[in-house]
Amino acid sequence: MISWLRNNKVAMWILTIARVYLGTQWVIDGVEKVTAKGGFNAAGMINMALAKPVTNPEGHKAFPWYDWFLNLATNHGHSTGFFSFAVAWGELFVGLGLIFGTLTLAAAFFGMIMNFSYLGAGVVSVNPTFIFIEMFILMGGYNSARIGLDHWVTPFLRSKLPFLNNDIEISK
């Protein structure tokens, strides 16, 4: 299946459609947050995640490491400015990367990180669906972005940064 996702032209089109759809969803959410009157503030979500963490069937914290991370990163829930900025602009840039097929695999990876973070905070919403799509984009590798700016960006970056070369061939 991975070989098919990475090499097949039908897979390329399916991945492109999925990538643009997902990118559009990220851009819509990101633009809403970036242009929010008074600015987007993640404090409510972070404070709720800390006050009511996700629990397992026994009633214990399911992700104690995530609560530790939120406490540490927000100075015990008091400083959420960085998260507000990172969430709003991160969603926008992930979406633009996916729509235009620029740094596509990085965009899908960071989108997946955000989706898992939202799940860790207890926000289910569309996150499992997005993770599923991002997983296929990542498995598709370069084929996910063949129809996009990565068609030119990836060979350029590989010529300038040799450590980016790997075993995945780029057909010309």
Q: How confident is the model at residue 161, as a pLDDT?
A: 85
pTM: predicted TM-score of the whole model, two decimal places: 0.86
Q: Are 45 and 35 in contact (CB under 8 A)?
A: no
Distance CA 105, CA 165 (A): 14
Q: Which of 102-111, 122-131, 163-172 has the lowest mean pLDDT?
A: 163-172
What pLDDT shows up at residue 78?
Answer: 64
Residue recorded with tokens 């709720």: 48
Question: Which of the pair, 136 or 75, is modelled with greater confidence?
Answer: 136
pLDDT score of 138 more than 60 = yes
- Which of 102-114 are b and which e, b meaning 16 or more Cβ less than 10 Å from the residue's Cβ? bbbbebbebbbeb
**pLDDT (mean) for 9-33:** 97
Which residues lie below 8 Å from residue 47, measured CB to CB, with a gap of 6+? 77
pLDDT at 146 over 80: yes
pLDDT at residue number 46: 85
Task: Return d(Cα 159, Cα 165) in angstroms, integer.
Answer: 8
pLDDT range class, residue 167, cuts 50, 70, 90: low
Q: Write the pLDDT tens digit of every residue in 42-59.
A: 888 888 888 888 988 998
Q: What is the mean pLDDT of residues 60-69?
A: 88
Per-residue HEC secondary structure of 5-60 comes to: HHHCHHHHHHHHHHHHHHHHHHHHHHHHHHCCCCCCCCHHHHHHHHHCCCECCCCC
Give yes or no for residue 159 having a pLDDT over 80. yes
Non-local CB neighbours of 46 within 8 Å, separated by 6+ positions: 70, 74, 77, 80, 83, 121
